[in-house]
Structure 1
Amino acid sequence: MTTQNTPINESGNTAEQSQLGKISAYETHYNPSLLFPIPRAEKRAEIGLKIVDGKAVNLPFFGMDIWNAYEVSWLNARGKPQVAIASIMAPADSPNIIESKSFKLYLNSFNQTRLSGVDELHTRLQKDLSQGFGAPVQIKITSSEEFEQFSFGELEGLLLDRLDIEVDQYSPIPEVLKADPQQAIVEERFVSHLLKSNCLVTGQPDWASVQIHYIGAPIVQESLLRYLIGFRNHNEFHEQCVERIFTDILNQCKPQKLSVYARYTRRGGLDINPWRSNFSTGKMPSNQRNARQ
């Protein structure tokens, strides 16, 4: 149920108004106005979250959207190109997401911009992205001298993809999710590499690996895999898909504790990895890249 005292979308920005699917001029000098925020509230209302004064309240989760930008470049004070990888963590309770193509266009605007050093880049990213998301973000910049610190690893958990199931539904149906409340409470982690959805605007495929960590009545594994595969023809942004998965599992299976973490493959030099949870394990999920990233 939603409560709306003012229109949900206060900024007026919609995904259809963004640069997605359109021919774009690639600016190469710093231009923060290229960032295109889209309010989270409208899609959150769609999955039944409460909206007051255009914002979601009493969220059933906390979390982060972890962005990795692999095509960050600028000029030093003498005009020599510099490269780095930037990791950005935006809180799930921020009012906006940033449309990913606008994010790429914004990063490209640094390409011919002279900066005094990494500190100035960090300051500009921190200011502009915090304004875009509508809340303070965390920024980590890894210089080329530090690239060797990156390693690969896979999400931990029992692989659901081993199950030999029959599937004939390719849109998410919450009712297929089942748990057995007659069984003892368990703590389990499941992983699937079969999460695939489509861009809300362009319809281009988005590929991901997803980890489900919960404490509660045992979730029927076949039902969970069938549900996840159901996103195959579904059109939503990454963040919206993960929040839909979280709320559907929470509502249908009623676990005491739940965490959903998806690692999406990159597009346009960016990957987006949303994490939503209602319990703390004492640390953030790892930002370690998997084999498909």
Structure 2
Amino acid sequence: MNSLQLGKSTPYPNQYDPSLLFPIQRSVNRAKLSIQENAPLPFMGVDIWNAFELSWLNPKGKPQIALAEFQIPADSPNMIESKSFKLYLNSLNSAHFESEDAVRERLITDLSAVAGSKVITRINPTEEIAKQGMQEMGGVLLDRLDIEVDPGASADPSLLSVNESFSPVEQCLVSHLLKSNCPVTGQPDWASIQIRYQGRPILEEGLLRYLIGFRQLGEFHEHCVETIFCDIKQQCKPEKLSVYARYTRRGGLDINPFRTDHNAVWPDNTRHARQ
């Protein structure tokens, strides 16, 4: 962790430099969830990144701008540390490329090498993204519950339980109250979360208290979502489960992890109002 650029005063690069990208082994955090390295994962999924500050120079030296979407497979050996990702993207600002396709291919090559798996990359003109608009997550809103919360309480998995007297249901639950903290700088990371499951009804008050408990946790976005997935799976034992979080951007990047244990429809990449 001491070698990370995150949390340090760092001059922004003035020339293209793929060595700025810093990998973080997923196995380190997954070991905390009793997921052994090289063992089958209890989920599949993707981390969807959106870059809002992508720029490069065309052959005549004229700056070009666009938005980019990156899909990093959940089974890739490595995550990419977010500040290193930001610094890398900024290193493209003064680099000349023959075309947008050349930029995309360079991004795929560099990011895939660090992640250890192919990173799907799309470059989108701003006007195309503007046409998509914004849309909030659909589902039953947990935030409507009028509950008392201990502000210092942690995310205790024992808060998670089901109503054993009810038959299995298919349900989608949503909260906008998910917050965690950067494990290095302590800066807050805000998110909305959507939980789809099939199984006995999850008791909503306990689930909301559990999610609010992440406010004091210092962890990366991806690990927070995997922790939530594994805790719900262990405590509530749903037949099917999908967990999707959309985090607000920091440094021109947002990260949106999705994990599922079945062949679920993967979420679209539609921005929310807070993003």
Letter in 2 for 1:65: D
TM-score (norm 2): 0.97
Matched residue, 1:285: 267
Matched residue, 2:217: 234
SS at match of 1:225: helix
Does residue 165 of the first structure (1) align with residue 147 of the second (2)?
yes
2:58 pairs with one of 76, 88, 91: 76
Q: Which whole-Å CA distance do the structure 1 matches of 2:60 and 2:157 have between them?
A: 57
| SS at structure 1 position matched to 2:147 | coil
Which of 235, 246, 263 is 1:252 aligned to?
235
CA distance in 1, matches of 2:127, 2:100: 13
Take 1:206 and 1:145, find their aligned partners in 2: how far apart are those partners?
28
Paired AA for residue 189 in structure 2 = D
Q: Tell me which amino acid in the other structure corresponds to 1:189.
A: C
Change (3 A) 1:212 1:145: closer
Bigger mean CA deviation after superposition, 251-260 or 136-145: 136-145
Cα deviations by residue, 1:67-95 (Å, 9 ceiling, x for unpaired): 00000001100010000000000000001
**Counterpart in 1 of 2:9?**
23
* 1:62 lines up with 2:24 in the alignment: no
Rounded Cα–Cα distance in structure 1 between residues aligned with 2:164 and 2:131:
44
Q: Letter of the 1:251 partner, please give it.
A: Q
Tell me the matched-pair count: 274
Aligned position for 2:22: 36
The reply to whether residue 47 of structure 1 matches residue 30 of structure 2 is no
Compute the displacement of 1:149 (Å): 2.6
Please give the residue correspondences for 1:185-224 in structure 2 after superposition, counting only pairs within 5 Å: 185-224=168-207
2:120 pairs with 1:127: no
Q: Describe how 1:89-128 pairs up with structure 2 within 5 A.
A: 89-128=71-110
Q: Percent identity?
A: 57
Which residue type is aligned with residue 62 of structure 2?
A: K
Deviation at 1:145, TM superposition (A): 4.6
Could you list the runs of 5+ residues in structure 1 that have no partner in the other structure?
Answer: 1-14
Deviations 1:236-262 (A, max 9, x none): 000000000000000000000000000
| 2:248 alignment partner in structure 1 | 265
Q: Which 5+ residue runs of structure 2 have no aligned equivalent?
A: none
Structure 1 length-normalised TM: 0.92
Does the CA contact (< 8 Å) of 1:16 and 1:201 recur in 2?
A: no
Alpha-carbon distance in 1 for matches of 2:14, 2:198: 49
Deviation of the 1:172 alpha carbon = 1.1
